[in-house]
Amino acid sequence: MSDPRVITVGIDIDGVLGDLNASMVNMVDQALGLKFKPEDCDRWDYWLDWMGKSTMLGLMDDCWNFGYVPDAEAGLSKTIQRLRTAGHGNRFRVMIISKRGPHSHTAVVKWLHARKIKYDSISFPHHEESKFSYPIDILIDDRGKFVEEVQHCYFRAMYLRDQPWNQEVEIFPKNAKRVGTVAEAVQDILDAYPHLIKVGKEI
């Protein structure tokens, strides 16, 4: 039986830790000659206006494999380590959870290592799988559809990382919230579970 005082936080990669969109804009221009602009990214499947899905996924893998993906925000290593070390005895665990394709898994792991982003586990669900089928209590993600999913997941919560492609989400259930950064989500998590930090410090 799992310890109820341990909270597992799932954190997405694309659009949350890494700014894949920034590198995709340049990659699309170089590979296809399309004058794509960041403001065109106004919905989840915006790339399909210009290319097929297989082409899109291949370019995303190229962005990772060629090392073009910048950080989505500054200080990610410290932010995530702050969460992992809150309290005592690993009260908060971090699972990196991304639907990144298999051709870029190694590049993603190297990217995390290069930035000294530490985590307790990493999972790459199949595109058909729900991230909430994994043993996480809280999800930090940029995909709007998970807001709808989490309202049916009792004792789960989600933070939607604000991005231009998830602005269609306007109504949030009680267990979901929009945040501007991962750091904001981490602060909110720590504020929501002060008893874990207190218990940890007393042990």
DSSP per-residue letters across 119-182? -SEEE---TTS-GGGSS-SEEEES-THHHHHHTTSTT-EEEEE--GGGTT-----TTEEEESSH
pLDDT of residue 196: 66
Cβ-count burial 140-151 (b if 16+ within 10 Å, e if not): bbbbbebbebbb
* pLDDT reading at 19 higher than 80: yes
Q: pTM score > 0.85 for this model? A: yes
Distance in angstroms (rounded) separating the CA atoms of residues 106 and 64: 9
State mean pLDDT over 50-78.
Answer: 93
The ranges assigned to domains in the chain are 7-18+71-202, 20-65
pLDDT in tens, 184-200: 999 999 999 876 665 44
- Report the share of the chain in percent with pLDDT over 90: 67
pLDDT in tens, 30-61: 878 877 777 778 888 888 888 888 988 999 99
- Band of residue 202 on the pLDDT scale cut at 50, 70, 90: very low
- Reduced to 3 states (helix: H, G, I; strand: E, B; else coil), residue 9 is strand
For 35, the token pair is: 């004058």
- Band of residue 154 on the pLDDT scale cut at 50, 70, 90: confident
Distance in angstroms (rounded) separating the CA atoms of residues 48 and 44: 10
Sign of CA pseudo-dihedral 97, 144, 196, 1: negative
Distance in angstroms (rounded) separating the CA atoms of residues 17 and 12: 7
- Band of residue 116 on the pLDDT scale cut at 50, 70, 90: very high
- Band of residue 110 on the pLDDT scale cut at 50, 70, 90: very high
CATH of domain 7-18+71-202: 3.40.50.1000
* pLDDT reading at 88 higher than 70: no
**Separation in Å, CA 168 to CA 18, 48, 87, 98, 106:** 22, 18, 37, 22, 33
> What is the pLDDT of the chain when averaged over all its residues?
90
Q: Which residue has the higher pLDDT, 195 or 120?
A: 120
State mean pLDDT over 160-166.
Answer: 96
